[in-house]
Amino acid sequence: MIKDKPILKSIIWTLVILCFPVASAVISLKLKLNNIQTMFVQGCFMFSSLIIPIIYVRKYKIRFKEIGLINIENGSTKKVLFFLPAVISAIPFLLVGINLNSIKYIITLLFFTLTIGIPEEVYFRGVILKLLVEKYPIKKAILISALVFGTGHIASILAGGSILIVLLQMINAFVFGIITAEIVTITKSIIPTIIWHFVFNFVNYITLANGINEIVVTGLQVIIMVIYAYNLWSKIPLKNKPIVNLSNYKL
């Protein structure tokens, strides 16, 4: 039985969501789609992945607000520094320059990054984190969820360039996973992490950074995020306060 094995269940949830970008990639290759068409197809597939958690919460009569689809808890905005460090982390990429050559590309990228941010937050911070919190101390649950999130991104990350860039991006994904889990733990909502996830991906895709510039700005982003993660770590509640008890539900 796997109902008492949240790490295994987290891995299964990760494999479920990974099926959608993999399927879209195969279709895009078969149809020989260009970059814009590929982003649109993958965005549609990723958005459709929400069907799984929707069926899950309806089957077990879990309210959507119980997996973080709720307003930010009163007073928590100040605790997360009004999300300003999250905004600042995007500045290094913006300073290098952005690609504004094609309106069609920008609109497609907006769609693509939004349809990735929503389901990934629902899966990783809305379901997986809550499963882990039910079994482990909150800080351990945050680290495990971040590791699962980072591991789930290895396939796409390895399609990048140099080894240094790949390494920095892997660290970025892991630290991003820690911060978003911390924010959800403090605010009790995945709404702000959905917004940040969308903006984070959009900026990182639209930047003109490449080569040594990409290495420098990615390194700066990692440093900013590590500092932010460290600051939030001290604000994590000592006792677990899960939004919903998922330990009695089977995957």
Query: Residue 108 — pLDDT band, cuts 50, 70, 90?
Result: very high
Coil, strand, or helix at residue 98? strand
Average pLDDT over residues 91-101: 90
The pLDDT score that the predictor gives to residue 241 is 60
User: Across the chain, what does the average pLDDT equal?
Assistant: 90
- Which pTM was predicted? 0.92
User: What secondary structure does DSSP assign to 8-31, as a single string?
Assistant: HHHHHHHHHHHHHHHHHHHHHHHH
**pLDDT value at 246 more than 80:** no
The pLDDT score that the predictor gives to residue 48 is 98
- 235/154 Cα distance (integer angstroms): 29
**pLDDT value at 250 more than 70:** no
Average pLDDT over residues 197-218: 92
Give just the sign of the alpha carbon dihedral 83, 218, 155, 23.
positive
The pLDDT score that the predictor gives to residue 18 is 94
- Reported as a single tens digit per residue, the pLDDT across 146-160 is 999 998 877 665 555
CA distances from 43 to 15, 65, 97, 115, 122 (A): 17, 24, 25, 5, 15
Average pLDDT over residues 86-115: 94
The pLDDT score that the predictor gives to residue 249 is 39
Query: pLDDT higher for 146 or 249?
Result: 146
Query: Residue 244 — pLDDT band, cuts 50, 70, 90?
Result: very low
Rg (CA), the chain: 18
- Reported as a single tens digit per residue, the pLDDT across 37-67 is 999 999 999 999 999 999 999 998 888 988 9
Average pLDDT over residues 25-35: 95
